[in-house]
Amino acid sequence: MKVTSLLIAGLSVVLAANVIFQEDFDEFNLNTWQHEITAGGGGNWEFEWYTNNRSNSYVKNGVLHLKPTLTADNVGEASLSNGFVMSLWGGAPADLCTSNAFYGCERTAGAGGNIFNPIQSARIRSVNSFSFRGGNLEVKAKLPRGDWIWPAVWLLPKLNAYGSWPASGEIDLIESRGNAGSYSAGGVNQFGSTLHWGPYPTADPYMKTHGVYTLPSGDLSEDFHIYGMTWTNDSIITYIDNPKNVVLKTVFDQSFWKRGQFPSGVDNPWAGRSNAAPFDQDFYLVLNVAVGGVNGYFPDGVGGKPWTDKSAHSVNDFWAAKNQWYPTWKGEDAALQVDWIKVSQ
């Protein structure tokens, strides 16, 4: 139990912060963590598919590893393009497809001229076991290193109280790129924290609630760091290692509707709610490692990117350049490694 003190009217008041969730990864508890099973690419047409496989998600020496691998190692390289059908509809309950968005539950290799997702990875969530509203979240983690790897630790609403994404909000504690620190768009020496919100997907002014931290020397794959968030009725603040090292500070001093300056004629999904809305609901944890994608997170023409977002065959171009990027994935250094997670209120 963490104990803090406040000075109120000259009196020292001791407050006990109750730990309401603690995951030390002594084992991989699948009652806590549900795997997402989909080839949908996170809505960004990323190049991975998410599966329940101990090659991609496992606990070793008390540390969770989420590690991307090559799909070809599983199904054979020829199956990526020769009409092989990847169907995620059947199987045991733990292996059933969790999202059919963006053709996530069944794909035919070679359809439309594109190969099947060439990367296999993992995305896990606590949607069925734990969610919370307000408090202090800390995650001790080491970020992956390897070109075009995109790790994230984030939160989504348990119930879409204000409508579908992003109206009900999204909290990104960590997003980073595995590229070297010399990568001009920001590599593994850097991470960002972001709030997503808006009445519909094309009206998400997230840059108003976005912060970036750059490590003064070295990179975030070399050692574990504590990534934290303090979430109250008045603000959301993220930090690294120490609450004084603030990455993002969003104060709820105005409504998100006013903050967004949305055009007239659009309905306010948070009307009548506090300034904290949509961040006044229960959120659950999500941890994942994506690769690539076409939403601009890896900008075109930067750092030798071997595909373009506007190409109809981006995934093919990415895979054709395997000899460029795969040598930068060095075993478990390419994995998101999480030592522990703690939430207190």
The span from the CA of 165 to the CA of 250, in Å, is 20
How do the residues of the chain divide into helix, strand and coil, expressed in percent and rounded to 5?
15, 35, 50
Per-residue pLDDT of 20-69, as tens digits, reads 999 999 999 999 999 999 999 999 999 999 999 999 999 999 999 999 99
Per-residue pLDDT of 229-254, as tens digits, reads 999 999 999 999 999 999 999 999 99
Q: Report the predicted TM-score, pTM, of the whole model to 2 decimal places.
A: 0.94
Q: What are phi and psi of 209, to 5 degrees?
A: -135, 60
Is 1 inside a domain boundary? no
Is 10 inside a domain boundary? no
pLDDT band at 6 (very low <50, low <70, confident <90, very high): very low
pLDDT of amino acid 16: 62
pLDDT of amino acid 90: 82
Given the DSSP bridges, would you call strands 48-50 and 119-121 parallel, antiparallel or unpaired?
Answer: parallel
Ranges of beta strands (E only) in 72-111 are 85-87, 106-108
Residue 202 pLDDT > 70: yes
Is 331 inside a domain boundary? yes
Nearby residues of 200 by Cβ (< 8 Å), 6 or more positions away: 166, 167, 266
Location of structure tokens 């007239």 = 264
Per-residue pLDDT of 149-178, as tens digits, reads 999 999 999 999 999 999 999 999 999 999
pLDDT of amino acid 8: 44
Is 106 inside a domain boundary? yes
Ranges of beta strands (E only) in 232-292 are 235-240, 242-251, 283-291
268 to each of 157, 190, 207, 281, how far by Cα in Å? 18, 34, 19, 17
Per-residue pLDDT of 121-153, as tens digits, reads 999 999 999 999 999 999 999 999 999 999 999
- For the chain, the average pLDDT equals 94
Is 11 inside a domain boundary? no
Mean pLDDT of 110-123: 96
In this structure, what CATH number is given to the domain that contains residue 301?
A: 2.60.120.200
Range of the domain at 126: 21-344
Is 291 inside a domain boundary? yes
Residue 15 pLDDT > 70: no
pLDDT band at 2 (very low <50, low <70, confident <90, very high): very low
Is 221 inside a domain boundary? yes
Is 292 inside a domain boundary? yes
pLDDT of amino acid 164: 97
Per-residue pLDDT of 245-280, as tens digits, reads 999 999 999 999 999 999 988 999 999 999 999 999
Count of domains for the chain: 1
